[in-house]
């Protein structure tokens, strides 16, 4: 769901025939392979040239700043309104398209989450829990996902909203979705083949995977903006194009976003909606009961972020959060017994989570 899904590709990588071995054992096959490679390169060059001719022809048209291929895909594959697409990609706020260089077999750096279990992180999460315990308890009951797991995810994603990113989501997703723009795969191949054992087909396949993965989220950005009554270029999020406290990509925002605070709008920048939406997402991805096996837990979180170190860190943090959460539960119970609960329970909490779908959106 996030840009970190890159790592999924490692598993799907095709078996590579080592060119050196083929050359030594089978000169005929080698020549054939070379011919095939030359044909493929020639074909890619032809596509790139055609794209360039189209982009530089004298016909009067909107200046799409190099995004012609992507605009075409959004209009003809995703069914977006041509006028809106053209106006956004020609907008001065939208940077010109530049070549996108990508890894064919990306690997995650060695455990980027290793520093996320420090005391300060736990304290921040506990402090967020204390302010929003009601949403956590209700969401946990509704989706049968432990409060500690939802809290750990929000802490790891954005330190419970301390930083939600200020990048233009549309531009960041457009970059990723533009990988298969004619000419871009070839540029990547020519750069990589100097020092990597990689075939053009692998590069083309990877570029297509990036387009197929991120084009739907790019299209969802337009739809999300429409619902929020914002200009598509004004939606802000991470450099990976994810939004709000739980860092959902736009497609997931539309599909799994929930109105948790009961105000009949879905706003993932508010704690109540963010907490419910994480519960809803995990529930929809296999977290079927409060007590499930470790493998089942890992599987559900994997859909959130396809990274083993991420999953391990979420579960370790959740474990560390259990005791403080129990302590706060005990405090709340005392508050309720002493009838001071009204001081910490806003009246608007009466019907949280009643809407399981997206009724409407608001502007930030
Ligand atoms: Ca709401």
Residue found under tokens 């020609």 = 90
Residue found under tokens 């909490």 = 349
Cα 277 to averaged position of ligand 1 atoms, centre (Å): 10
Which is nearest to 116 in space by CA: 300, 337, 311?
311
- Cα–Cα distance measured from residue 70 to residue 40, given in angstroms and rounded to the nearest whole number: 22
Cα 355 to averaged position of ligand 1 atoms, centre (Å): 9
DSSP for 313-341, please give it.
Answer: HHHHHHHHHHHHHHHHHHHHHHHHHTT-G
Cα 273 to averaged position of ligand 1 atoms, centre (Å): 5
pLDDT at 3: 41
Instruction: Check: CB of residue 156 under 8 Å from CB of residue 49.
Output: no
pLDDT of the chain, 364 residues: tens digit per residue: 444 443 333 333 332 322 222 223 333 344 445 455 567 667 766 665 565 445 444 444 568 999 999 999 999 999 999 999 999 999 999 999 999 999 998 877 777 898 999 999 999 999 999 999 999 999 999 999 999 999 999 999 999 999 999 999 999 999 999 999 999 999 999 988 776 688 999 999 999 999 999 999 999 999 999 888 899 999 999 999 999 999 999 999 999 999 999 988 899 999 999 999 999 999 999 999 999 999 999 999 999 999 999 999 999 999 999 999 999 999 988 877 775 544 444 433 333 344 434 444 443 3
Q: Which residues surround ligand 1, an ion (CB under 5 A)?
A: 259, 261, 263, 265, 273
pLDDT at 339: 58
Cα 265 to averaged position of ligand 1 atoms, centre (Å): 4
Cα 102 to averaged position of ligand 1 atoms, centre (Å): 37
DSSP for 89-123, please give it.
Answer: HTSTTSPPP------SS--PPS-TTTTTTSHHHHH
| Strands (E) located in 165-312 | 167-168, 236-237
Cα 132 to averaged position of ligand 1 atoms, centre (Å): 14
Cα 79 to averaged position of ligand 1 atoms, centre (Å): 29
Name the strand (E) or helix (H) holding 294. Answer: helix 294-304
Cα 65 to averaged position of ligand 1 atoms, centre (Å): 37
Instruction: Check: CB of residue 220 under 8 Å from CB of residue 254.
Output: yes
Number of H helices, E strands in the chain: 14, 2
**What region, left, alpha or beta, does residue 229 occupy, with left being phi > 0 and alpha being psi -120 to 50 degrees?**
left
How far apart, in Å, do the first and last CA atoms of the chain sit? 23
> Taking CA 305 as the corner, what is the angle to CA 293 and CA 115, rounded to the nearest 5 degrees?
90
pLDDT at 17: 28
Cα 157 to averaged position of ligand 1 atoms, centre (Å): 20
Cα 356 to averaged position of ligand 1 atoms, centre (Å): 11
Query: What is the value of pTM for the model shown?
Result: 0.76
Which is nearest to 312 in space by CA: 292, 299, 295, 298?
298
DSSP for 274-292, please give it.
Answer: HHHHHHHHHHHTT--SSS-
| Domains annotated on the chain, with CATH | 3-54+65-98+168-229 (no CATH), 119-164+243-350 (1.10.530)
pLDDT at 40: 67
What interhelical angle do 200-228 and 184-192 show, nearest 10?
A: 130
Cα 318 to averaged position of ligand 1 atoms, centre (Å): 25
DSSP 8-state assignment for residue 167: E
Cα 166 to averaged position of ligand 1 atoms, centre (Å): 22
Cα 88 to averaged position of ligand 1 atoms, centre (Å): 28
Cα 154 to averaged position of ligand 1 atoms, centre (Å): 17
pLDDT at 198: 87
Structure token pair of residue 184? 């871009």
């Amino acid at each position: 769901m996030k840009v970190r899904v890159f790592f999924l590709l490692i598993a799907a990588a095709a078996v590579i025939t080592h060119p050196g071995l083929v050359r030594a054992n089978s000169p005929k096959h080698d020549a054939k392979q070379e011919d095939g490679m030359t044909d493929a390169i020639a074909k890619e060059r032809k596509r790139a040239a055609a794209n360039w001719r189209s982009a530089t022809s004298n016909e009067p048209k909107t200046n799409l700043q190099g995004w012609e291929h992507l605009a075409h895909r959004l209009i003809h594959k995703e069914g977006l309104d041509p006028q809106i697409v053209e106006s956004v990609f020609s907008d001065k706020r939208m940077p010109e398209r530049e070549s996108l260089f990508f890894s064919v077999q990306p690997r995650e750096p060695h455990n980027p989450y290793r520093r996320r279990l420090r005391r300060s992180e736990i304290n921040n999460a506990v402090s967020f829990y204390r302010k929003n315990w009601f949403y956590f308890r209700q969401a946990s009951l509704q989706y049968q996902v432990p409060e500690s797991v939802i809290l750990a995810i929000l802490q790891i994603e954005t330190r419970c909203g301390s930083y939600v990113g200020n990048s233009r989501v549309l531009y960041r997703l457009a970059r990723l979705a533009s990988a298969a723009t004619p000419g871009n795969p070839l540029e990547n191949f020519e750069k990589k083949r100097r020092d990597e054992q990689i075939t053009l087909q692998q590069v083309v396949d990877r570029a297509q995977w990036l387009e197929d993965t991120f084009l739907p989220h790019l299209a969802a950005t337009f739809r999300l903006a429409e619902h929020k009554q914002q200009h598509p270029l004004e939606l802000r999020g991470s450099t990976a194009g994810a939004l709000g406290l739980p860092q959902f990509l736009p497609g997931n925002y539309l599909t799994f976003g929930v109105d948790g605070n009961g105000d009949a709008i879905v706003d993932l920048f508010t704690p109540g909606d963010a907490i419910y939406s994480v519960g809803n997402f995990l529930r929809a991805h296999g977290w079927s009961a409060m007590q499930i096996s470790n493998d089942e837990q890992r599987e559900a979180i994997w859909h959130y972020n396809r990274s083993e170190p991420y999953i391990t860190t979420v579960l370790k943090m959740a474990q560390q959060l259990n005791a403080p959460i129990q302590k706060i539960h005990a405090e709340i119970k005392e508050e309720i017994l002493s009838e001071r609960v009204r001081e910490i329970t806003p009246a608007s909490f009466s019907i949280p989570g009643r809407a399981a779908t997206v009724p409407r959106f608001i502007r930030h």
